[in-house]
Structures are given as C-alpha cells and as structure tokens.
C-alpha cells in the first residue's frame, strides 16, 4: 500500500526538517558569537539540507498522488485533503499528526531564518561602519619617499 510509503516519507521529511532547524540554530550561534570564519560552512550545510528536503518533497508528492488515486481523490490532493478523506482506521489521525508537526516545524524554521537574516544585516551594517571609520585620509610622500599624511590643502605663494 502506498500509504505506508507515504508515512515513511513523511517521517523522513520531518527528520530533515529537524536537521534544518539544528543547522539554522547552529548558524545563529555562529552569528551571535561573531564567528564569521565558520559561517560559510554553516550556510553550505543549510543549503545541503534544503536540497535533500527538496528531493524528499518531490518523492512525497509522487507517493501522495498514488495514495490519492487509491482513495479516489484528485492526484493533486494535499496532505490535509488526504487526512480528511482517509478511510476508517488510524490513517486520518496519523496524517493529521504529520501535518501538524510539519506545520509547527516550518513556522519555527521561518522564525530562525528571519532572525538569522536580521543578524546578517546587522553584521553587514557594522562592517560597513567600521570600514568607513578606518579609511585613512589621503596621503602624499615626503622628500624621503615615506608616506606623509595630507592634513589639508596647502597653498604656497612663491612671490613671498
């Protein structure tokens, strides 16, 4: 039965959502600690989990279409539709529990994503401000070839 495959795929997808949550929290810890050295690694890991989630979502959609077909529903039926139309037995409750858990996880992931984006914007702004403060003023060279600070324009009147 395709419903057993669908349930297994939903469990797998939930595990990937948990992993994504962990990776986003890990990224957030790096951002709050100022450990930008490892940020690219954490971001790459988040992207890898997202790719795996995309593949799992596609596999789930195919299996859900097969379940919908078995149950006499349109193939584009959602998980909510499948839970509502489940035959007598535990499947309505199981599918509803999966839907609830995945919805809650998605909301948490959105919060983490938004918080991380806010941290990144603040870090970028701080970096820009720091760079603006550390830019040295224009320099020139003295008669020995050493850099000398140019404190302002100087006018020389050669007629004096």
Kindly report, residue by residue over 87-128, the tens digit of the pLDDT.
888 999 999 999 999 999 999 999 999 999 998 888 778 777
155 found inside a domain: no
149 found inside a domain: no
Structure tokens at 20: 């994504």
Residue carrying the six token digits 């797998």: 12
- Domain containing residue 28: CATH number: 1.20.58
Percent of the chain with pLDDT over 70: 86
Q: Which of 13-22, 68-77, 125-134 has the least mean pLDDT?
A: 125-134
88 found inside a domain: yes
Identify the pLDDT of residue 114: 95
Q: How many structural domains does the chain have? A: 1
44 found inside a domain: yes
140 found inside a domain: no
In residues, how long is the chain? 160
Confidence of residue 145 (pLDDT cuts 50, 70, 90): confident
**Which domain, by its residues, includes 74?**
2-135
99 found inside a domain: yes
């Amino acid at each position: 039965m395709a419903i057993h495959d669908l349930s297994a795929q939903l469990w797998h997808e939930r595990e990937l959502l948990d992993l994504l949550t962990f990776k986003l929290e890990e990224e957030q810890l790096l951002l709050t600690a100022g450990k930008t050295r490892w940020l690219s690694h954490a971001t790459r890991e988040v992207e890898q989990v997202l790719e795996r989630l995309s593949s799992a979502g596609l596999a789930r959609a195919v299996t859900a279409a097969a379940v919908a077909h078995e149950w006499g529903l349109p193939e584009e039926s959602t998980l909510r539709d499948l839970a509502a139309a489940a035959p007598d037995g535990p499947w309505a409750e199981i599918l509803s529990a999966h839907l609830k858990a995945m919805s809650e996880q998605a909301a948490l992931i959105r919060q983490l994503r938004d918080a991380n984006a806010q941290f990144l914007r603040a870090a970028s702004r701080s970096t820009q401000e720091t760079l603006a403060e550390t830019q040295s003023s224009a320099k020139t060279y003295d008669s020995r070839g050493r850099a000398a600070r140019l404190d302002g324009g100087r006018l020389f009147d050669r007629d004096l």
